[in-house]
Structure 1
Amino acid sequence: MDQPSTTAANRSISIIIPALNESKNLPRTLQALQTTLAVEVIVVDGGSLDGTISVAESWGAKVICSPVSGRAYQMNVGAAAAQGDILLFLHADTCLPGGFDRLVRQTLLQPEVIAGAFELAIDGTTPGLRLVEWGIHVRSHLCQMPYGDQAIFMSTATFRAIGGFPERPIMEDFELMRRLKRRGRIAIAPDTVLTSGRRWQKLNVCRTTLINQAIILGYLLGISPARLADWYRRWGK
């Protein structure tokens, strides 16, 4: 595993944002990054038709057009092009807190820590969301299992050593965390990212939670990611 180093406090950060038709959400996400100048921002587009690329470019992000649409593939494409010593993977509808760069570096300096993520807040007032946030907090700390919407980060060396994201249509973040846990500790930074509550609002909290847990159970039982992705799409309509 990576060993903490005193030079980690000065390591550069690359933020990789996979996107597909996210022109409405991307401005808020990119605006939250404007207070930190010493980071590289890469938006990897998966074939958007809504002006996502123009929005990303207008905020100064480097844009890469991925030949394949798929979050895992797009994040791997972005990571391959990144120049930073640390990689942070950010969903297009999620905003990082102020001073995130300092928190990322400090978190990776902790003993035995190989990767990290943030606490999660879900935007919205839909009944039950605060309970969901509490469950995510418990899972992230007790099980060391943050998911992709919590802005996962690690050193570039670590990411390459584990082979990047497994290129599958779903559960890529879950599998990445399992691989990382075999190499070291996954820490949660002491601040919160704000993610869109659009799926929770569309399907309601109970249904969304049941779908998510069913997909995880199916994955652990060995059901193929392709079939799980198909179920996830159909159940989410």
Structure 2
Amino acid sequence: MALRPPPISVVIAARNEAPRLPALLADLAAAPELIAEVLVVDGASGDATRRVAALAGARVLGSAPGRGLQLAHGISCSSGSWLWLLHADARLEAGWRPAVATALGLPEAAWYSHLAIDGSHPALRLVEWAVAWRSRWRQLPYGDQGLLLPRPLLDRAGGLAPLPLMEDLDLVQRLQPHTRLRPLQARLRVDGRRWRALGIGQTALANARLRRAWRRGVPAEALAARYYGAAD
């Protein structure tokens, strides 16, 4: 009996993530039965991001910086029947392989991971709880939780818009009429450097203001300039 090819194309948006990207690529390399290809879309990094991605066996693409631009380009170059959209500073925690394998065998849906933020401050656990509540009851997981979905579902929702910011919110809102977004039974751990740099309360407030501005029609380009200026 012929073996089925692995179904998932992983698309990772990266910019200046050379210190963090190898760990995520090592996580993904542990599941060749699931992962058909890993595409790292580099947004004009000034460090060794492209080199470390290539050394780890990823397919490296170039793009103008901006997560939506990068992810949309990677999707257009991918071939898998499923897509997994990830940020470069993520880590896949224990149990992700059986969780993903289970999701692939269930009726069509879009899947997100439970968020874990790297750091020991108790306020981060409150943020994680709020994210879990928002994702479950408002159906609004964001890009740092990863998004795993079959390609036909993404196509029916209109694809991923090449926005420099808010591409995740835009996509999940367009997915809602087509499917229920469901949690994988595994956590995805993200780097906490922005939370540490700006402070937990200030980061949460800044993110809320960006989302409110987006809903009021502020262009994504202006929001990206605000977000990345704060991150710097």
Contact 1:41 1:62 in 2 (8 A): yes
For residues 8 and 43 of structure 2, what CA distance do their matches in structure 1 show?
23
State the TM-score, normalized to the length of structure 2: 0.91
Deviation at 1:236, TM superposition (A): 3.9
Contact 1:90 1:151 in 2 (8 A): yes
For residues 102 and 127 of structure 1, what CA distance do their matches in structure 2 show?
29
For residues 161 and 68 of structure 2, what CA distance do their matches in structure 1 show?
7
For residues 77 and 167 of structure 1, what CA distance do their matches in structure 2 show?
8
Please tell me the residue identity of whatever aligns with 2:185: P
Matched, 1:85 2:81: yes
Deviation at 1:161, TM superposition (A): 2.6
Partner of 2:170: 175
Please tell me the residue identity of whatever aligns with 2:80: G
Partner of 2:154: 159
1:65-144 alignment, distance < 5 Å? 65-66=62-63, 68-111=64-107, 113-144=108-139
Matched, 1:150 2:118: no
List runs of 5+ in structure 2 lacking aligned partners. Answer: none
| CA pair 183-10 structure 1, distance change in 2 beyond 3 A | farther
Alignment length, in residue pairs?
A: 227
Matched, 1:55 2:55: no
| CA pair 70-235 structure 1, distance change in 2 beyond 3 A | closer
Deviation at 1:46, TM superposition (A): 1.4
Deviation at 1:110, TM superposition (A): 4.0
Contact 1:127 1:205 in 2 (8 A): no
Partner of 1:46: 43
| CA pair 99-82 structure 1, distance change in 2 beyond 3 A | farther
Deviation at 1:107, TM superposition (A): 2.6
For residues 124 and 30 of structure 1, what CA distance do their matches in structure 2 show?
21
Contact 2:96 2:187 in 1 (8 A): no
List runs of 5+ in structure 1 lacking aligned partners. Answer: 1-8
Runs of 4+ displaced beyond 6 Å: none
Partner of 1:24: 19
For residues 59 and 126 of structure 1, what CA distance do their matches in structure 2 show?
33
For residues 60 and 5 of structure 2, what CA distance do their matches in structure 1 show?
25
Give secondary structure in 1 for the equivalent of 2:73: helix
Q: Deviations over 1:31-56 (max 9, x none)?
A: 11121113111111111121111100
State the TM-score, normalized to the length of structure 1: 0.89
Deviation at 1:61, TM superposition (A): 0.9
**Kindly, what percent of the aligned residue pairs are identical?**
37
